[in-house]
């Protein structure tokens, strides 16, 4: 699972507190707001540090390096603070850590789901291949696919693989597969596993988080829930050449063909609605 991380792992020199984020052990298992509500008696100081990290780098680190804070003045939260993080962060982990640190009580600002909300948004995931790079890529955006089809990125053509899923949506029970990009290898990586997502963000600065790609569930062991189809991940084993790439497929014949070409089958990666 961690072979691809060899590509860009470097030990970073010490940077100012505001320059590098602090990431949770795992990414949010749902589509998160990236917000934590803090109640307590030291909120003026927390507010200052959240918006001016240089005033107290140690406290800023203990607050998990928020991108800012907003004073709440609603009747339900008359004197509280809303600490803002990027939406892939696990709010439960951040809230528990801040509470344990002693600055009042923190709790995730969870999404509110109302009955009878909008239905899931269908998404088509289309696979592309670049013969020059010998790389595969997944597009889950109609606009991105149109751009590739028009030759906008150069050399990408559709394969015969595509899947149907939905946009990630916590209210409809559709957790996200998240997308990363590596500039060195010019390649993308997708994961539905919160722990793997957190590991990539914390350990390897070469992978840049690009957001939620589409809805997919992490597997349970080596199987998918009833009503879901398995997506397997293959790896080209070329990290040492700065040329990592992964291919994702539910087709057993493709898996056999890729393994014969020297690709490594890394196993079941995610589960999508049954195809």
Predicted local confidence at residue 6, as pLDDT:
38
pLDDT for 59 beyond 80: yes
Residue 146 in domain: yes
> Edge-to-edge, what's the strand order for the sheet holding 264-273?
246-249, 228-235, 264-273
- For residues 75 and 43, state if they share a domain: yes
Residue 245 in domain: yes
Closest-CA residue to 250 (of 275, 225, 227) = 275
Q: What does each C-alpha distance from 55 to 16, 47, 60, 66, 69 come to in angstroms? A: 11, 11, 9, 14, 15
Check: CB of residue 107 under 8 Å from CB of residue 95.
yes
**Residue 41 three-state SS:** coil
pLDDT in tens, 9-50: 333 333 344 458 999 999 999 989 999 999 987 899 999 999
Entry pTM: 0.88
Closest-CA residue to 231 (of 190, 174, 172) = 190
Return the residue matching tokens 């990431």.
Answer: 23
Q: How many CB atoms lie within 10 A of CB 209?
A: 17
- For residues 102 and 128, state if they share a domain: no
Residue 20 in domain: no
How many domains, in total, are found in the chain?
2
Residue 9 in domain: no
pLDDT in tens, 83-140: 999 999 999 999 999 999 988 899 999 888 887 778 999 999 999 999 999 999 999 9
Both tokens of residue 275? 């195809």
């Amino acid at each position: 699972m961690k072979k691809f991380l060899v590509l860009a792992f470097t030990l970073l020199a010490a940077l100012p507190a505001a320059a590098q984020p602090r990431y949770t052990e795992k990414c949010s298992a749902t589509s998160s707001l990236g917000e934590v509500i803090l109640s307590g008696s030291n909120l003026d100081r927390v507010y200052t540090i959240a918006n001016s990290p240089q005033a107290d780098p140690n406290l800023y680190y203990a607050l998990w390096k928020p991108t800012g804070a907003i004073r709440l003045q609603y009747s339900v939260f008359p004197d509280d603070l809303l600490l803002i993080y990027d939406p892939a962060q696990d709010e439960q982990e951040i809230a528990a850590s801040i509470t344990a640190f002693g600055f009042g009580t923190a709790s995730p600002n969870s999404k509110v789901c109302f009955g009878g909300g909008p239905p899931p948004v269908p998404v088509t995931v289309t696979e592309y291949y670049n013969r020059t790079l010998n790389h595969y890529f997944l597009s889950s955006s109609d606009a991105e696919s149109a751009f590739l089809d028009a030759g906008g990125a150069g050399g990408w053509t559709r394969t015969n693989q595509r899947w149907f899923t939905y946009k990630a949506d916590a209210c409809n029970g559709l957790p996200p597969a998240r997308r990363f990009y590596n500039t060195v290898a010019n390649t993308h990586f997708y994961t539905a596993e919160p722990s793997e997502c957190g590991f990539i963000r914390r350990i390897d600065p070469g992978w840049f988080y690009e957001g939620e790609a589409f809805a997919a569930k992490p597997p349970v062991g080596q199987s998918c829930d009833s009503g879901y189809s398995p997506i397997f991940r293959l790896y080209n084993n070329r990290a040492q050449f700065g040329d990592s790439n992964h291919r994702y497929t539910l087709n057993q014949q493709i898996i056999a063909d890729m393994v014969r070409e020297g690709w490594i089958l890394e196993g079941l990666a995610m589960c999508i609605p049954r195809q």
